[in-house]
Amino acid sequence: MHYYETIELEVNDGIATLWLNRPEVRNAFNNHVIVELMDCLQSIEHQADIIAVVIRGRGKTFCAGADIQWMKSFSSMSHEEDFQENTHLARCFYMIYTYSKPTIALVHGAAFGGANGLLAACDMAYCLNDTKFAFSEVKIGIIPATISPYIVKRVGEFNARELMLTGRQFSGEEAAQKGLVNATFSSLEALSDYVQQIAQELKTSAPGAISNCKDLIFNITKSNNFNETIDYTARMIADARASEEGQEGMSAFLEKRKPHWVTSTSVN
């Protein structure tokens, strides 16, 4: 098990929870947090016993965005150094977005600025009704650049225009209405229970098929040319049917039994 200063890794029943663990600064992130988060994700990606990854925040807040002290340091950086720091952050979001295992953000308290990149890059995101959200970058004369690809994918162009241009705060309920999160809940208990249900469902799906399905969605959504997707999608399903998982899954279905990835995994 790796030791981290800003990230706490907890593995339970096939689910890895990555806790942002700086509650004294509302889990605000800096370059050190980004490095540790990426290292933690890399260290568990190929562990077969881990089915999915949940990202949460310790204390009263999911994440308050960029650390103020880190932001102050940008004033003394050269333009190239600033560019490199932001490139590293952008790569962190991309790593989450393209991660081979399902990723779930469990959001409470607040998600400001760059924190929204962490949750929007996940496959699924859930929050409490009273969670506060804001793309407040414009209020201090900057823009939500590195998070924008994932926000626009989630909420659409014109919802993104409203929220990013005004920089206003909005609730978890509005975040769900606009699609920034998949669903919102009235209590942390209800939220946690629902995420556990999602985790249990993921355990009944073939791990290789999940990873391939994520690749499929990624490649389909990056292109609007349907002609280009004909060969790709036909090849993907042919490869899936010919795979070991595909053969086992089809056999189990026809024989009216559970496939081996279900029977070999503890599922309540």
Q: What is the pLDDT, as a whole number, of residue 268?
A: 44
Q: Which amino acid is at 267?
A: V
Residue 140 or 226, more confident: 140
Q: Which residues contact 89 (CB under 8 A, 6 or more apart)?
A: 34, 114, 117, 146
Quick one: average pLDDT of 162-183?
98
Q: Are 5 and 43 in contact (CB under 8 A)?
A: no
* pTM given for the model: 0.88
Q: Is the pLDDT of residue 266 over 50?
A: no
Reported as a pLDDT band with limits 50, 70 and 90, residue 133 is: very high
Q: For residue 29, what is the DSSP state? A: B
* Whole-number Å distance between alpha carbons of 10 and 56: 11
DSSP secondary structure letters along 41-86: HHHHTT-TT--EEEEEESTT-SB-SB-HHHHHHGGGS-HHHHHHHH
Q: Is the pLDDT of residue 222 over 50?
A: yes
Q: Is the pLDDT of residue 150 over 90?
A: yes
Q: What is the pLDDT, as a whole number, of residue 2?
A: 67
Reported as a pLDDT band with limits 50, 70 and 90, residue 19 is: very high
Quick one: average pLDDT of 15-24?
97
* pLDDT digits 0-9 by tens, 177-215: 999 999 999 999 999 999 999 999 999 999 999 999 999
* pLDDT digits 0-9 by tens, 224-254: 566 666 777 677 777 877 888 888 888 888 8
Query: Nearest-CA neighbor of 211 among 178, 248, 243?
Result: 243
Q: What is the pLDDT, as a whole number, of residue 235?
A: 74
Structure tokens at 185: 């809940």
